[in-house]
A and B are shown apart, each in its own frame.
Chain A
Amino acid sequence: MSAPVSQIREPLITGHKTYHQITEDLISPTEKTPSFAWTVGFIISAIFLGLYVFSVLWTIYMGIGTWNLNRTVGWGWDITNFVWWVGIGHAGTLISAILLIFRQKWRTGVNRAAEAMTIFAVICAGQFPLIHMGRLWMGFFIFPYVNTRGPLWPNFNSPLLWDVFAISTYFTVSLLFWYTGLVPDFATVRDRAKGFRKKVYNFLSFGWTGSAKHWQRWESLSLILAGLSTPLVLSVHTIVSFDFATSVIPGWHTTIFPPYFVAGAIFSGFAMVQTLMLVTRTVLNLKDYITIEHIESMNKVILLTGTIVGVAYITELFIAWYSGYIYEQFAFFNRVFGPYWWSYFGMMFCNVISPQLYWKKSWRRNITLTFFLSIVINIGMWFERFVIIATTLARDYLPSSWSYYSPTWVEICLFLGTLGLFFFCYLIFTRVAPVVAVAEIKSILKSAGDQYVGKNAVHQHHHGDEHSEVESH
């Protein structure tokens, strides 16, 4: 808080808010009856969720044969969706953990919703490996529990098992981090509520009082959880990429995969955060808290990570050629010009070319363009995973077993269904919890509110004097 604020920094909270107004603005969406837009969104999500439940039951009842996987293409839309959803989750942790460590104040406007997005995205991701098992009810076999068969253990040397540990740790830690941040805000909701609602929020707020010692521990805990989440989030997509990179399949067996997957994950995650934030700030009227400044900052991250991804694609092609190894060369030639050429070019266009528009400042600050591009990027990142998985598997060493894979209606419905699951959870979240971290916004008001910094500042000097006197660090 006491860190000097650059004069050129734009305010992150507009509208000359007081502490009480912040409470009103951020808590009231949970207290009012839902808006028409919310209700429509919720009904649509619920329908898609229903479709999901039906497709899962159909898959379990009829078997995995209802998918179009075949002898060489053993992973199709399912694992594509898995990787896509896990990747989306990464932006939430980046915002909540890495930006906390870097003391980026703009994270406070979006971290709560982004963390919620992480949790729901990881829930969606986790569905696919489980359904893919076919016998869903034996899913617990993946965990090393003491059993009556020896005990017989899972293979700890397998990247698929590393994934089990990575995803479940990631989910648990993200949930703990998110909830710990929510506790003080639930207390704010509790203190405004009456009757049954008060009881519910009293339970959810864990008996929070706002005592100085609790805040001190809370800040210490948040910082350490951020410190732990930072390597964790990098490890999660690294391990997801190991699913491919530790295999001996040309096109998968590449050392560039871990950094390339992590950059792609953050890229797609930020695109999803943009999609959600642009809708949320409009529907819940949070434009004073999620400002153009926030959107521009996120677009800068999208530009950076999109460019890293682009460099990775080109490096892959170069290394394949440079290796002098014909199977590797063929794998990449096939990716670009093979039967799935359309997905490769879709990926290149959406992920590498489209974010380059963000070099122009006015375009980074254009809401319509941002919304449109955020969806384009999400489609592009889905294509990326499909390119890696399907094109590689469809052309293996034996031309006699080459095949082509396209999904059945069940696979398509499963994917659309997880979108329903995701938005269903997110919409409930916007009704139950404040979507912007109330306490954290209040803590940056004096250093980022537009009455203190920027063009419209009214008590800037006054504020500076006060703080140099009382603050020690």
Chain B
Amino acid sequence: MANHKEVIYGLYNDETELLRAVKAAKNQHIEIMDVYSPFPVHGLDPILGLEESRLHIAGFVYGMLGTLTAFLGMTWIFTKDWPVIFGGKPYWSVPAFIPITFELTVLFASIGMVVTFYIVSGMGPGITNNYLDDRITDDKFCIAFDKSEVSESDAQAFFQSTGAAEVNVKHIN
């Protein structure tokens, strides 16, 4: 995304039109740069060929990290670093460690996944990404082609045949 690009994009009025158009593009082997929508359009990912997000795997790893931090941390503190007897219970009183272990599992998994989500998506506080059209967050569904890969005439013909309401060209950095 870093270099200068010329993008031709078509706006559709409805998600069913968008889905039909994406399917058509796939059948005609036209390379889609990206698809933008005001809300998650269900059924789009398989047509577009998007692989399932691996965020949940990251979440599991972060969660495990939380589990280990809490459990091993408390174990070390209460058996090695500063053992204290509370109410005649053993130093290593595992059942009492469960609540905090659980909480830290959830905490680590949540924070880790949210941070990962923003980093891999190239988002974060203060970051401005190029977006093609103000109406994409309102009521327009957009298919974008990179002009270096799809010629303008091909794109125009495609948008016309799939019923795009509007076609525009935009330079993005």
Interface centre among B15, B59, B89 (most CB of A within 10 A): B15
Are A218 and B40 also in contact (CB < 8 A) when A169-B104, A242-B99 are? yes
Asked if B53 contacts A210 (CB within 8 A), the reply is no
Select one of B16, B39, B40, B118 contacting A470, CB under 8 A: B16
Q: Is A104 an interface residue (CB 8 A)?
A: no
Closest residue of A by beta carbon distance from B144: A211
Closest residue of B by beta carbon distance from A204: B125
The complex places the Cα of A309 from the Cα of B50 at a distance, in Å, of 47
The complex places the Cα of A183 from the Cα of B117 at a distance, in Å, of 12
Flag the segment in A57-65, A159-167, A377-385, A419-427 that touches B: A159-167
Q: Is B20 an interface residue (CB 8 A)?
A: yes
Asked if A162 contacts B117 (CB within 8 A), the reply is no
**Residues of A contacting B122 with CB < 8 Å?**
207
Asked if A207 contacts B135 (CB within 8 A), the reply is no
Interface centre among A20, A157, A188, A203 (most CB of B within 10 A): A157
Closest residue of B by beta carbon distance from A152: B82
**Residues of A contacting B103 with CB < 8 Å?**
162, 165-166, 169, 232, 235
Closest residue of B by beta carbon distance from A153: B77
Least CB distance from B160 to A in Å reads 21
Q: Is A362 an interface residue (CB 8 A)?
A: no
Scoring B residues 109 to 133 as 1 if CB is less than 8 Å from chain A, else 0, what string do you get? Answer: 1110110011011111111111110
The complex places the Cα of A221 from the Cα of B81 at a distance, in Å, of 38
Asked if B40 contacts A169 (CB within 8 A), the reply is no
Select one of B48, B59, B117 contacting A180, CB under 8 A: B117
Asked if A206 contacts B107 (CB within 8 A), the reply is no
Q: Is B146 an interface residue (CB 8 A)?
A: no
Asked if A213 contacts B137 (CB within 8 A), the reply is no
Flag the segment in B3-11, B29-37, B161-169 that touches A: B29-37
Task: Tell me the interface secondary structure of chain A in the complex.
Answer: helix
Closest residue of A by beta carbon distance from B114: A176
Least CB distance from B168 to A in Å reads 15
Q: Is B100 an interface residue (CB 8 A)?
A: yes
Select one of A162, A180, A184 contacting B114, CB under 8 A: A180
Q: Is A142 an interface residue (CB 8 A)?
A: no
Closest residue of A by beta carbon distance from B20: A470
Asked if B131 contacts A210 (CB within 8 A), the reply is yes
**Residues of A contacting B16 with CB < 8 Å?**
466-467, 470
Asked if A215 contacts B123 (CB within 8 A), the reply is no
**Residues of A contacting B114 with CB < 8 Å?**
176, 180, 221, 225
Are A155 and B107 also in contact (CB < 8 A) when A224-B55, A442-B38 are? no
Residues of A208-240 at the interface with B, using a CB-CB cut-off of 8 Å, are: 208-221, 224-225, 228-229, 231-232, 235, 239
Q: Is A397 an interface residue (CB 8 A)?
A: no
The complex places the Cα of A310 from the Cα of B100 at a distance, in Å, of 30
Asked if A173 contacts B121 (CB within 8 A), the reply is no
Asked if B55 contacts A206 (CB within 8 A), the reply is no
Residues of A316-368 at the interface with B, using a CB-CB cut-off of 8 Å, are: none
Asked if B118 contacts A239 (CB within 8 A), the reply is no
Closest residue of A by beta carbon distance from B129: A207
Q: Is A31 an interface residue (CB 8 A)?
A: no
Least CB distance from A142 to B in Å reads 12
**Residues of B contacting A210 with CB < 8 Å?**
36-38, 131, 136-137, 142
Q: A206-B123, A215-B41, A229-B106 are in contact. List 4 more A-B contacts (CB 8 A).
A: A180-B114, A211-B34, A216-B52, A224-B56
Chain A interface (Cβ within 8 Å of chain B)?
1-2, 18-20, 23, 144, 150-153, 155-159, 161-162, 165-166, 169, 172-173, 176-177, 180, 183-184, 187-188, 190-192, 202-203, 206-221, 224-225, 228-229, 231-232, 235, 239, 242, 439-440, 442-443, 446, 466-467, 470-473
18 contacts between A and B (CB under 8 A): A1-B42, A156-B77, A158-B86, A165-B103, A166-B103, A177-B110, A206-B118, A207-B124, A209-B132, A212-B41, A220-B55, A221-B114, A229-B106, A232-B106, A235-B99, A235-B103, A472-B43, A473-B42
